[in-house]
Structure 1
Amino acid sequence: MRPEAESSLSHRTGVPRPGCAERIGLARLTKAAEAGHDLRPLWRRLIARLLDGTIEAGEGLDLSVIAQLLGDKEAGLAIQHTILASHQLFRSPCAARPPGLRILALAASTDIGSNTPIEFLLERSGIELTTLYVMPNVAWPDWLPPHDVAMVIASDSDDCRAALDKIAHAAPNWPRPLLNLPEFIGRLDRDKLHGLLGGIEGLVIPQTRCVTREQLLELSQSASALSGLAPDLAFPVIVRPRGSHAGKGLAKLDDTNAIEEYLSEHAEDLFFVSRFVDYQSDDGLFRKYRIVLIDGQPYACHLAVADRWDIWYMNAQMAASAEKRREEETFMETFDAGFAERHRAALSALAKRIGLDYFTVDCAETSEGSLLIFEADNTAIVHDMDPPDIFPYKVPQMRKVFDAFVAMLHRRSGRPAEAAA
């Protein structure tokens, strides 16, 4: 694809231009579900249209999202596979006509958690979002929809690798600025991140190894075998299935006996293993922070506080504790002069090594004051779905994040916000 490819292809005659199917989109459907709206009537209407062959491509993709939101991932992916076999371009709702900017998102055919949920960032921005699903066995379209900037939103998961490889091959000649290059996304997996970030002063990231089920069984026979996987590996260890997120399958194993018990409850073939770092604060609680980095600058996304080490926002029960929410509010209000300043050098070095234009980091602080890294991800959800009557302080904070993302898109496109049309 030559630099002039977009303009030349858009004016070719005799080349059919694939239409951009209109969709409700992930953000609106997820927000409806979170607000308690019953999506099943819409599901029934759309599934009837699918079965009688009258469903539109955008409706089919929405049906796939609804199925996954209702807990049927397998059905959702099957529907998505059917739709994407014949249509790959989709347009999300835009808050402005004409749009202030146009972005093309390059996605993989995967579940709703494995592409950057970019709609949440753009919902009220006036930026037009078109998503192109990159299919390994489907040629690039002869015509690309007009866009000012493009962004890779596929993750580093196994089912996205073929799409990332295809994008990487086309990236050097992409006709517009391309953000979140695939070669950088491919370095985010847990067993690669330690090598990328190791040695940064003020930053701690335990070495993570990917092991087979058979290797875990061998470890259950001898605690000394742990050191053969990684020099710093000793009980207790953290284990999780490879590719899992949001704490699914996550466990702390204190001895060899715990390995056998763990494997009896998990049938996966590949696992990540790392040493456990105790990040408990002096008050006996654990604190996990989500930071979003946009063009190298850190922004507070959330703080989860709980009395358990295996913490994420959903199990911290923040809505039930005014004290926890006050702490999160203070964290957000003082972030620039507090957390971000304490870890300024570590966050700056981390952003440079990871190299992505947009990504999130889940982290904590050790008792020595270092930044403890759990995970870096380009697909973690950054949203404004928390009820404003319970979390009023999140409204201005998330607006700050969304505005920073939009400002970055304008800068990278070369079109200042006031000049874009």
Structure 2
Amino acid sequence: MPVMVGLPDDRLVYLGAHPRTGEIGWSVPGNSSFPSQLDPAIRRHLTEVYFGSSIPVTPNQAARGRPLLNNICDPDTSAQSLHSLEHIVAELQAPCFNHPSAVLDTTRERVAVKLAHIHGLQVPRTVRTRLDEPADLARVANVNGLRFPLIVRIAGAHNGSATVRIDSADGAAVGLRSIPWGGRDLYLTEFVDYRDDDGMHRKMRLVFVGRDVFLRHLVIADDWHVHAQDRNDWMAQEETTMLTTFRSDVLPRLRETLAAVVDIMRLDFFGMDCSLRPDGRLLMFETNSAMNILHNSKPSPNYWDAPIRQIHDALAALLLDPQRWQFPATRSAAA
């Protein structure tokens, strides 16, 4: 199966040395890492096809009607390749895993609009803009009806990089100094305080494989900007319990809400970072196909082995069954 790897809009790729082995490797921004993390028995069915505005796809790389795996996951950095792949898929009338049209619709401001009315899901308002001066932040917020505090992110930045919370219009100049915002698209998102009664913030990563949903992890931190490195040993028991009981105790209460998310997102494999609130709703932080899911950051054995294996096996089965994909054949992505 061809794995369609698209060059980013700036046509830059990363070259570097492995921190332990020194082996030279390269990566293409805007593409997912999950194909390389599949078991060898699955990877042997996959062939990477690199393409871009100046690198066409040849007939021997992708044949008419043959299933394709779209590896491009970031519409902020790789919109041109996604549009090109739309035309390729339509011309070949091919089934496509994570169809490029669906991925193009995963920018933060579009997701915020699409998912805003799902029962049981709280989605903070988000707009996309550019600023000429820090003082413009207050004007843009006012025009769009956004209330401070605001989370300001550079479009296309991930893993919490290039992100700052600005609590008031007066703090715009100081806050924006911490990110390279000039001349770049920015996301402005209303901040929602999601501290629990114990003062901690809890962020879950849900993983959607077809119509099934898994819990990848739960991270607990005292700061709102939660990341994996914030874990402490005392949090492990709560995370382990949630990983063990999620599908039996928590998922049934969320199933209707999450089924609506699948219907609207039209993706085959993607993630949602969110917080389960005391009233049973999910507070959504982001939903897209660009999340790191199959990588286990700690040596095995550890308590992430089981959920990663469950996700991997469900994903492997889905990849080999194109009839279960959101766009299994000639169905129009605009339908």
Say whether the fold is shared (TM-score over 0.5): yes
Match of 1:54 in 2: none
Identity in percent: 24
Contact 1:285 1:307 in 2 (8 A): yes
The counterpart of 1:169, out of the listed 76, 81, 87, is 87
Structure-1 residue corresponding to 2:312: 402
Task: Tell me which protein shows more helix as a share of its residues.
Answer: 1
Say if 2:42 and 2:316, in contact at 8 Å, map to a contact too: no
Aligned partners of 2:133 and 2:126: how far apart in 1?
14
**Aligned match of 1:376:** 287
Q: TM-score, normalised by structure 1?
A: 0.67
Answering whether residue 32 of structure 2 is matched by residue 116 of structure 1, we say: yes
Stretch deviating more after TM superposition (235-244 or 293-302): 235-244
Number of residue pairs the alignment of both structures matches: 307
Cα separation, 1, equivalents of 2:133 and 2:52 = 34
- CA gap of 1:159–1:291, structure 2 versus 1, over 3 A, is same
3-state secondary structure, aligned to 1:334:
helix
Paired with 2:316 and 2:158, the residues of 1 have a C-alpha distance of 27
Deviates more, 1:289-298 or 1:174-183: 174-183
Q: How does 1:8-407 map to 2 (within 5 A)?
A: 33=18, 37-39=20-22, 42-43=23-24, 62=25, 64-65=26-27, 110-111=28-29, 114-128=30-44, 129-144=46-61, 149-174=67-92, 176-214=94-132, 216-220=134-138, 226-229=141-144, 231=145, 233-268=146-181, 269=183, 270-314=185-229, 316=230, 318=231, 320-321=232-233, 323-388=234-299, 392-407=302-317
Distance change (3 Å), C-alpha of 1:401 and 1:359: same
SS at match of 2:47: strand
| Cα shift at 1:384 | 4.2
Preserved CA contact (<8 Å) 2:162 2:180: no
- Aligned partners of 2:80 and 2:292: how far apart in 1? 23
Supply the AA of the counterpart residue of 1:115: N
Gap regions ≥5 residues in structure 2? 2-14, 325-335
Of structures 1 and 2, the larger Rg is shown by 1
Match of 1:71?
none
Comparing 165-174 and 180-189, the one that deviates more? 165-174
User: Aligned AA for 2:54?
Assistant: N
Find the aligned partners of 1:331 and 1:367 in 2 and give their Cα distance. Answer: 15
Contact 2:131 2:137 in 1 (8 A): no
The residue that corresponds to 2:7 in the other structure is none
Q: 8 Å contact 1:197–1:205 — kept in the other structure?
A: yes
**DSSP-derived class of the 1:349 partner:** helix
Pick closer, same or farther for the CA change 1:215–1:186 going to 2, 3 Å. farther
Shift of 1:370: 1.0
Task: Please state how far the C-alpha of 1:245 moved relative to its aligned partner.
Answer: 1.2
Q: CA deviation at 1:175?
A: 5.9
1:357, distance to aligned residue in structure 2 (A): 0.8
C-alpha distance in structure 1 between counterparts of 2:215 and 2:226, whole Å: 17
The equivalent residue for 1:411 is 321
Between 149-158 and 159-168, report the one with greater CA deviation.
149-158
- 1:38 CA displacement: 3.6
CA-CA distance at 1:216 after TM superposition: 4.5
Shift of 1:368: 2.6
Amino acid at match of 2:143: G
Counterpart residue type for residue 38 of structure 2: L
- The DSSP-based 3-state class of the residue aligned with 1:375 is strand
Question: Aligned partners of 1:328 and 1:242: how far apart in 2?
Answer: 30
CA deviation string 1:348-380 (max 9, x = no partner): 100110000111111112343211111112121
Cα 1:369–1:215 shift into 2, 3 Å? farther
Task: State the secondary structure of the residue aligned to 1:238.
Answer: strand
Q: Is the 8 A contact 1:149 1:409 kept in 2?
A: no
Q: Is the 8 A contact 1:287 1:364 kept in 2?
A: yes
Return the letter of the residue paired with 1:144: Q
TM-score (norm 2): 0.83
Moved more, 269-278 or 345-354: 269-278
8 Å Cα contact 1:187/1:193 also seen in 2: yes
Deviation at 1:121, TM superposition (A): 4.1
Residues 236/168 of structure 1: CA separation in 2 closer, same or farther (3 Å cut):
same
